[in-house]
Amino acid sequence: MEDWKAIIGENVKRLRKARGLTQEQLAVDSGIDLTYAGGIERGRRNPSLEVLMRIAAALETTPDELFKR
């Protein structure tokens, strides 16, 4: 079984860095807590679809980009 939390986390981190954003900027733009954003990037949190949609919007990408292997 795939570790989707890790895959999502790696993609969020990669896309965030590619856009020159800090975790804090991503958290503010997504309307989530900084520690929650860090947990998502480390693959330790299981974000809801709503949170994933907000993160994708903050990263100016589509939600499916967060699931790519």
In this prediction the pTM is 0.95
Phi, psi of 60, rounded to the nearest 5 degrees:
55, 50
Residue reference for tokens 């790519």: 68
Segment (H or E) for 58: helix 49-58
Average pLDDT value over all residues in the chain: 98
pLDDT of residue 2: 82
CATH of 4-63, one of 1.20.1290.10, 1.10.260.40, 3.40.50.720, 3.30.450.40: 1.10.260.40
* pLDDT exceeds cutoff 80 at 21: yes
Mean pLDDT of 12-27: 99
- pLDDT, tens digit (0-9, with 9 covering 90-100), for 44-67: 999 999 999 999 999 999 999 999
* pLDDT exceeds cutoff 90 at 1: no
What residue segments make up the domains of the chain, in order of their start?
4-63
42 Cβ contact partners less than 8 Å away, ≥ 6 residues apart: 9
pLDDT of residue 67: 98
